[in-house]
Amino acid sequence: MKLLYTPRSPYARKVRIVAIEKGIKLELVNEDLVNKSPGLVKANPLGKIPTLILDNGQTIFDSPVICEYLDHFKPKPVLIPQGPSKRFAVLTLAAAADGLMDVTVAMFMEKVRHPKDFNAAFIAANEATVKRCFVYFDAQAAQLKELNIASIALASAIGYLNFRMPQLWSADNCPKLARWYEEISKRKSMQETAPKE
């Protein structure tokens, strides 16, 4: 299985952590997102990473679908619970973590595109969302103790925020979340996938 990715992407990091935790070997293909390769746009018309290419040529995207595929491909350890009440609680937390990635990427891209005259109201609204997310996740810290798709997605999202905008990460309003993040960051799968340019 080939994973088209970049070493910076929090979405791809989530997939890589899932694969490592399950002992699934992925062939990593580092993509250029400015000059997209024919292989990437052929596999995924959106030209986005992560995109998974199976050995039979079938392609799978986006990151939640790839994670679901990997959980199906190698069921142990279970990272997406089956029982409905737990499943939808975990998937909702994972969706919030994916949303935190979206907000952080959007702010970063706004500042890359307009370094001198970025939209300050847009940045302020998104920073407020980040702060609300910290409070939301702090209140759910007990749910994050289990390793599953929600804890993996959130660790990837906070890792990306720390990589791009470390000034926004503060334990002040989310002490339980900060302690949890420190602990999960010690995992081998987290250390092997730390974002880099």
**Contact between 104 and ligand GSH per CB under 6 A:** no
Q: What angle do CA 75, 77, 28 make, to 5 degrees?
A: 80
Q: Where are the beta strands (DSSP E) in 105-154?
A: none
The region of 45-53, 121-129, 144-152, 176-184 touching ligand GSH under the rule CB under 6 A is 45-53
**Contact between 9 and ligand GSH per CB under 6 A:** yes
Q: Residue 49 or residue 190: which is nearer to ligand GSH going by CB?
A: 49
CA distances from 50 to 6, 77, 108, 149 (A): 8, 22, 18, 16
Which residues does residue 87 pair with via DSSP β-bridges, in sequence order? none
**Contact between 159 and ligand GSH per CB under 6 A:** no
**Contact between 193 and ligand GSH per CB under 6 A:** no
Residues 26, 32: contact at Cβ < 8 Å?
Answer: no
Alpha-carbon span 115 to 122, nearest angstrom: 14
Sequence-separated (6 or more) residues with CB below 8 Å from residue 23: 74
Which residue among 20, 50, 126, 155 contacts ligand GSH (CB under 6 A)? Answer: 50
**Contact between 63 and ligand GSH per CB under 6 A:** yes
The region of 21-29, 44-52, 117-125, 132-140 touching ligand GSH under the rule CB under 6 A is 44-52
Which residue among 22, 24, 37, 47 contacts ligand GSH (CB under 6 A)? Answer: 47
Q: Contact positions toward ligand GSH, by CB under 6 A?
A: 9, 11, 33, 47-50, 62-63, 98, 105
